[in-house]
A and B are shown apart, each in its own frame.
Chain A
């Protein structure tokens, strides 16, 4: 058995094992060991096949196909049943239609279609495997610590921890399968499996809200799955192939673009792009680690991964233009909506949608520069977003709230935790950090491909992005000194994964020239031929690295200055009415009043509700335009 097969199947076994063990202490050990093993296996596979890549073909393909078909029928039956039981008939219809479609194709049309390689491991898969394996297993280790306290804080929910862990492992299995499969039928199976897993994770607490949101996620993702299934049938019948690698080297003519457009729709649903974004916002009812998983290592990344794979077919085509515009609109609108939110997880959710919009826009352009940016964005976003979700989860345990307004005391509660959070936020938008580097290149790519409208949208979107992150950071550094909070300890099994994440954020920024040299350039050379180089000049890269070093060194270099220059500390200025404790002032009639400092949300200024509605309308119109263009046969 090949190591890659082991890597894919191991989480599946772990999932079953964890599900069966009901004793907390034993299960925690198993989860930790399995997570660790997954991480090691990931590193091993990547090291082993990184240089030359590998493509595998399975002799017993038919048996595997049969097993997959069987499991698909089981899943479909399950979804149809729960759909009927909960009166969400749309879910049942979607599941029934697509499974019938795929089975019909499998048993009547598939004969004679030869598959050369079922699994392809190249540099892009390596990146994805690393993200899924490493971030995924770190999240798992964190989850062990997190779930210990989750049910202490939330006694109202039924405890189903073994189910929870088992789902996460199943999710990793599906993701590994998805990013490694070249056989579209296999990929589709994993695709559906991630939809199912996310449904199960979102519905973990079984509150009416959770059930509702989980069905919404399932409905939207199954809708995407239907598009995927139709695309497979279309490709199989017209081009007699079932391989992604064969599809992507076809000439982008009308017959190719129709299934590509369908696949793009599937990818957009999975990546929660407008107008399909609502499911990801509902997903935050679940315990935080599952959000971290959905937002960083799995699920939404599957969508953009597929788009990046399809990018050669999108470059310069009408479908590509539609996708780019959709991504850009999503990026801008969601960054505005994020300004109006104070719930940390909501801000993170909107920022995920927004940032994925940028990746989608890059993939739609499909030039070498834009793909360079897209893959780098994907890497940096995964690490930073995962870090932010994990810290948000711990902060909720520490201060009993995930409202950003309450985080002004975090510095007092846990200096380290707020430090990690600041690193995460900086990683999302600040200058020498990864996201900004990739955004910079994305901007260059948009200009060079003459997409000036996208550039303008990006300009505005960057400004709004800056606003919502900085005001959050402002709360973290504001160092409010309230005496009424309760002291908690920041547990070590939560801190270790968070610490590793924070190190990864900084390290990935230092090593991005290496990532470019050894991953992005070789991968892109495979697509565009030789002559691909890093889109940033070496002098710029050096200045970036100098800035990053400055950010690391400067805080330390201030320690001696502080030692030598001690100063008188005075109360803050409150127009002479400070009562002396910086917490209250004398108001009218000399009554003591509490000082309350709030961030700006500007909900009415931007008209967020209307904006969300109209931008959804706009994105539906953009998609319809895409459909019309294809019906009209316009491919350029």
Chain B
């Protein structure tokens, strides 16, 4: 019974927090650009408005993928926030992302297809780092379960500094921030229009927004895991770390121009290879 309440709480609260973060993001970004910016609740208004708009589509297939994608992203969020297996959560997330990519293909529209290819490329770029993060976290307590990882005696950041930096690097992909927002951008000034989301409108677009809110929470949970351990205070520190990481990403978003895909892939793989791999290899020597 408690489990059901937890699950419902996660499903309801995660997008609320995620949406709020997006709102804060927009305000801070505006201030950095010398604008006043919208209200903090603007993302919610946007989504509500999208739900009331007429949804048009280019064929009957492509909306299906967006809904499935949302379901698996929610699934991932639930697994993670209930302390489940982190690798399993990643696999479920990958499944969700793949459905999203397939949605882009299914519209068979030039801009969406290019967006899908780019999204896939981004996934190829950050996937090794994500897996290595999970493996690094496993080293601490010999468990892939998040509930064990956050109950460890030492915070993971102590022995995984390299992995953490690598994770921060790929967080930019996960949060769809510049310089790595190749497949679709929050800002309507991309060379491939709205990329993968070009052909979605109304309800479907709202669903994509909500999916992104969940994904934001998933990304920040990863940061959280590096700082939380069995002392209660550490959870406050961890939340603080998430906030700092998020602010950092906003600064990066505004400070960098979008890069070419070659650069995105190469740099991410090199960063993963250097920071995370070296970190893990050193760790494996001390076992």
Q: Which residues of A contact B (CB under 8 A)?
A: 408, 430-432, 436, 440, 443-444, 447, 450, 452-453, 455-456, 458-460, 462-464, 466-467, 470-471, 473-475, 477-481, 537, 539-540, 543-544, 547, 550, 554-555, 558, 562, 567-575, 582, 595, 597, 599-600, 605
Contacts and interface: CB of A to CB of B under 8 A. Distances in A.
Contact of A440 (B57, B87, B108, B111): B87
Contact of B113 (A450, A570, A597): A597
B198 A470 contact: no
Contact of B277 (A456, A477, A555): A456
Contact of A431 (B84, B94, B110, B265): B94
A458 to B, nearest CB: 8
B84 A463 contact: no
A379 B108 CA distance: 35
Contacts of B110: 572, 574, 595, 597
Contacts of B281: 452-453, 456
B57 A570 contact: yes
Contacts of B67: 558
27 contacts: A431-B95, A436-B91, A443-B135, A452-B284, A455-B132, A456-B132, A456-B277, A459-B131, A462-B127, A462-B131, A463-B127, A466-B127, A467-B123, A470-B98, A471-B117, A473-B102, A474-B101, A477-B61, A547-B72, A550-B71, A554-B68, A569-B58, A569-B59, A571-B58, A572-B58, A572-B107, A573-B198
Contacts of B144: 444
A188 B262 CA distance: 49
Nearest to A546: B75
B88 interface: yes
A426 to B, nearest CB: 9
Contacts of B56: 567-570
Interface in B73-130: 75, 79, 84-85, 87-88, 91-92, 94-95, 98, 101-102, 104-113, 116-117, 120-121, 123-125, 127-128
B3 to A, nearest CB: 12
Main secondary structure of the interface of A (DSSP, over half): helix
Which of B57, B135, B198, B269: most chain A CB closer than 10 A?
B135
Contact of B109 (A440, A562, A573): A573
Given A466-B127, A479-B59, A582-B108, A431 B68 contact: no
A92 B273 CA distance: 46
A545 to B, nearest CB: 12
Contact of B108 (A444, A450, A463, A479): A479
A459 B106 contact: no
Given A455-B135, A480-B108, 8 more contacts: A440-B87, A462-B128, A466-B123, A466-B124, A467-B124, A568-B57, A572-B108, A597-B108
Contacts of B256: none
A459 B128 contact: yes
Interface of B: 54-61, 64-65, 67-68, 71-72, 75, 79, 84-85, 87-88, 91-92, 94-95, 98, 101-102, 104-113, 116-117, 120-121, 123-125, 127-128, 131-132, 135, 138-139, 144, 193, 198-199, 262, 265, 269, 272-273, 276-277, 280-281, 283-284, 287
Contacts of A554: 68, 71
A481 B58 CA distance: 12
B85 A474 contact: no
A471 B120 contact: yes
Given A467-B124, A547-B75, A599-B117, A478 B58 contact: no
B54 A543 contact: no
B58 A447 contact: no
Contact of A452 (B61, B95, B265, B280): B280
Contacts of B104: 474
Contact of A573 (B121, B125, B199, B287): B199
A478 B113 contact: yes
B79 A543 contact: yes
A466 B102 CA distance: 13
A394 B56 CA distance: 35
A619 B111 CA distance: 41
Nearest to B128: A459
Given A459-B128, A480-B108, A543 B84 contact: yes
A329 to B, nearest CB: 15
Nearest to B129: A459
Nearest to A568: B56
A424 to B, nearest CB: 15
B102 A408 contact: no
A448 B269 CA distance: 24
Nearest to B262: A605
B272 to A, nearest CB: 8
Contacts of A432: 95
When A and B form their complex, which 4 residue pairs have the shortest distance between CB atoms, in order from nearest? A474-B105, A572-B109, A463-B127, A431-B91
Contacts of A567: 54-57
Given A431-B95, A562-B60, A573-B199, A467 B106 contact: no
Contacts of A467: 120-121, 123-124
A597 B132 CA distance: 34
A444 to B, nearest CB: 8
Given A436-B91, A456-B132, A478 B108 contact: yes
B227 to A, nearest CB: 23
